[in-house]
A and B are shown apart, each in its own frame.
Chain A
Amino acid sequence: MTATTAPVRGARARSAFSKRNVLPWVFLAPGLLLALVFKFLPMGKGVWLSFFKVRPFLGDHWVGLDNYTRVLTDHRFQEAIGHTLLLGLGQSLGAIAVGFALALLLEGQARSLKIVRTAVFLPVVTATAVVGEMWRLLYYPTSDGLINHGLGLLGLGPTQFLDNPDTALWATMVMSVWMLAPYNMVIILAGLAGVDRTLYEAAAMDGVSLWQRLRYVTLPAIRPALGIVLTLAAIRGLRVFTEVYVLTGGGPAGSTEVWMTRAYTLGFTRNDIGGASAASVVLLCVTLLLTVTVNYFRKRGDAR
């Protein structure tokens, strides 16, 4: 088709042709330029610097993979990997479980439900730093703190949530779950809305229990939504920074140190740009790998 029409239009369309080809790029230029300068260039620069011992004024010195071996064998980074994985996994699964429960509870069209949903969604729109300040006070270590006050009513002694190396990471996780669950709720609600209602009816006629209905009708139907939620949560969990930085700063005694707070300290406090870049590149590779893997399994799951 195109072969027959092209020569006829050829001469006339030539000037328009070039104009039409340039135009999209004019529209794309601002976005691509900003992405290039402030995203891709820093990424490339980060990869480049990770092979150097960066010395201001003295010039950079090529060290090959030294930064990587240094970072990966550093025991504080090794601990940080454990914390990052535990925090990432815990907050992802916790936020999905709570988000799913919230979605089941708040599904529906009634106006009162919408008001409840609006209220429950508040943590998502609140800046992480503000949430952090709030939870510091909720976690206040004496019996005057709100949560400790509640524990006191139950006859439990005050807990030093954030000042105790054994509980600090779990306390951070609870705050993250609180912050992320309502976001998951919205995505799962969108998934629930797409469930074929007649399936519920048919299941009820077959006399299945509520649990079986959830297990065999609802869960398979919202699996795509759960897949998205899990991917987003896992990627977010790996690069967790602000929550930890605001709430504990990595302390006490490094018990909440995660990969990015460690890299931040290395880069900005210790001025080890090379080591910090290597740490970032490792994180980037893991993030990309995870995204690609999850997408692969999601596509395969969809095809089946």
Chain B
Amino acid sequence: MSAPAIDPVRAPVPTARTSNSAKAARATPARFDTALGWSDRPGVARCLRILLCAIAIGVFAVPFLTIVSGAFTTHASGSSLSFVPHDSTWQNFEVAGERGIWDYFTNSLVIAGGALLLQLAVSVLAAYALARHRFRGQALVLTLFMLTMMLPEEVIAIPLSLVLGHVPVVGLDLKGTAWGVILPLGAWGFSVMLLTEFMKDIPTEIEEAARLDGVGEFRMLWQVVLPLCKPALGVAGVLGFVMIWDQYLLPLIASKDPTDYTVTVALSILRTDPEVGSGVVLAGALIALVPSLIVYLLLQRSLVTGIAAGATKG
């Protein structure tokens, strides 16, 4: 696992640049640029569009303010909830801290970091073999990786929890350890597919030139192919992070007792605690929200291109 120590934070920066240049290449907006034929000229249509956009933001983004507002309100017991806190306070975070929210948060970070690194490493290696080599059984391997996408953890939850309790051959008990969540997330067909498609587009001339210089397979991957894959790595990284952070059932079944929970699963503990109010739950929700928010805002461009690319390949 030591070889492809990818830096998921730095990698996707080039994506931003490439999509900018694509925009520059586009012609100036014309009347038939959109399906509905929106126009930039002032008028009724433009007013309508601004109004509809405002409603869309109001419906999809504004509800998040309830989390922020509630987390900073002293007695947010669901009553008198608003978008703006009446009396801002840090008390909810202190109470949530006493209930161990930062320990859960640390669990989450360890799991997300470990699983993301493992997932990227596994995907890069597999994609390199699938994209740059011809071998017997290639179609079968591709089908197997596709199948991992069709086997969601919901469907295999019960037997998976048995396997986690006693891994065959080695006989380890992974329950209650971070590995119990990290390892099942390692093989993710989606990121294998994404990286395979991207690596196929790298011109063979580059590789042939390197091979003439006597570059071996691992150095080829590490020093030639991988640097060229940075945009795709960014996409796989963001989508992988969102997918891992969203995990609920897996951390639940991989835990031995509630102290092993991730922060998202631990929200249910806060909710059922009769001594704390909604404000504390929302403080926890805000803590669970921030990392995905940061990743998204930093790298949202590559996320959107990734979804589009993944979808069109179907």
Residues on A facing B (Cβ under 8 Å): 20-21, 23-25, 27-28, 30-32, 34-35, 37-43, 45-46, 49, 102, 104-110, 113, 116-130, 133-138, 140, 142, 144-146, 178, 181-183, 186-187, 189-190, 192, 195, 197, 200-201, 204, 210, 213-214, 217-218, 224-225, 228-229, 231, 235, 239, 241-242, 245-246, 260, 263-264, 267-268, 273, 276-277, 280, 283-284, 287-288, 291, 298
Residue of A nearest to B80 (CB): A144
Given contacts A43-B159, A121-B300, contact A107 B81 (CB under 8 A): no
How far does the alpha carbon of A250 sit from the alpha carbon of B279 in the complex, in Å? 24
CB neighbours of A183 from chain B (8 A): 307
* With A31-B123, A129-B288: A195-B248 Cβ-Cβ less than 8 Å: no
A30 CB, nearest partner CB in chain B, Å: 5
- Which residues of the other chain, B, contact A123 by a CB distance below 8 angstroms? 60
Q: Is the CB of A120 within 8 A of B61?
A: yes
Given that A35-B144, A122-B64, A241-B249 are contacting pairs, would A187 and B307 also be in contact in the complex, using a CB cutoff of 8 Å? Answer: yes
Q: B57 and A116: CB pair below 8 A?
A: yes
Decide if A104 touches B35 in the complex (CB within 8 Å).
yes
The reply to whether B35 and A195 form a contact with Cβ atoms under 8 Å apart is yes
User: Contact at B80–A137, with CB atoms within 8 Å?
Assistant: no
Q: List 18 A-B contacts (CB under 8 A).
A: A30-B126, A32-B187, A34-B186, A34-B187, A43-B155, A45-B159, A104-B34, A109-B29, A110-B40, A117-B304, A124-B242, A126-B293, A134-B66, A137-B78, A204-B37, A229-B311, A280-B157, A280-B158
With a CB–CB cut-off of 8 A, which chain B residues contact A178? 59-60
B18 in the interface, Cβ–Cβ < 8 Å?
no
Task: Tell me if B135 and A125 are in contact (CB < 8 A).
Answer: no
B residues near A231, Cβ cutoff 8 Å: 314
> What does DSSP make chain A's interface, helix, strand, loop or mixed?
helix
Q: Given A129-B268, A190-B312, 15 more contacts at CB 8 Å?
A: A27-B133, A34-B184, A39-B151, A42-B162, A43-B155, A46-B158, A108-B34, A108-B38, A133-B67, A178-B59, A200-B32, A210-B36, A242-B249, A246-B268, A287-B150
CB distance from A25 to the nearest CB of B (A): 7
A189 to B314, CA, bound (A): 15
Minimum CB–CB distance for A113 against chain B, Å: 8
A201 to B32, CA, bound (A): 6
B30 at the interface (CB under 8 A from A): yes
Give the contact stretch, choosing among B48-56, B203-211, B228-236: B48-56
Cross-chain contact of A125 among B63, B70, B296 (Cβ < 8 A): B296
Contacts of A246 in B (CB 8 A): 248, 267-268
